[in-house]
Homo-oligomer: A and B are copies of this chain.
Amino acid sequence: MPDEIPDIVVGRLPVYLRALMRMAQESREITSSHELGQRLGISSAQIRKDLSHFGEFGKQGTGYQVKFLVEQLRRILKVDAEWGVALVGAGDLGRALAHYGGFANRGFRIVAVFDNDPAKIGMKLTGGLAVQDSSRLSDAIRQSGWKVAMVAVPADQAQAVADKLVEAGVQAILNYAPITLVVADGIRVQYIDPVVHLQRMTFYL
């Protein structure tokens, strides 16, 4: 089934899940595509259409059970269990990611942090992780079977790091380095570059 789902639909599911988890935190039990749409600035028809790719999650007129829809979306996005994430790069950004509380309960946990800077190797991070030598990266990934990694190294090191990660078995990379990575077919890469987002807005100013 996943092959038939447009990627743009897949991209909206995490945003739906995030909003629904927030509603659950607020102890909301029922919501509607209308209410969800208003929170997200998306039409209710779009939300219903997106969700209909995956089944029937609500009843006409009674809306969605928040908790049930959260569970379903977690299952669909495969975050009903927790993914161990390898983080490469322990600079300012990498350390901020290692300390970030927002991964918990959303399907991800940073399980190892690597850097090639001798000054950073051995550094203890909040949460008890210690920065490991990047030379251990490939072995650690192979032994642990981690499939997901985050790259927070300088642009000129990112491709080499990505190559290592993929060779060792990583299938999904979230890349913070401001460079487009070249990877084999079937390997997923997502990008976070604040400047790209900012420039996308200044175009309209």
Contacts and interface: CB of A to CB of B under 8 A. Distances in A.
A93 B172 CA distance: 23
Contacts of A79: 199, 202
Interface stretch (A15-23, A59-67, A115-123, A129-137): A15-23
A38 B93 CA distance: 28
Contact of A194 (B13, B38, B97): B97
A52 B155 CA distance: 29
A192 interface: yes
Given A39-B180, A172-B205, A199 B77 contact: yes
> How many interface residues does chain A have, given as a range?
35 or more
A18 B195 CA distance: 9
B179 A22 contact: yes
Interface of A: 2, 10-11, 13-15, 17-19, 22, 38-41, 76-79, 83, 85, 92-93, 95-97, 99-100, 102-103, 106-108, 147-148, 150, 155, 171-172, 174, 178-180, 182, 188, 190-205
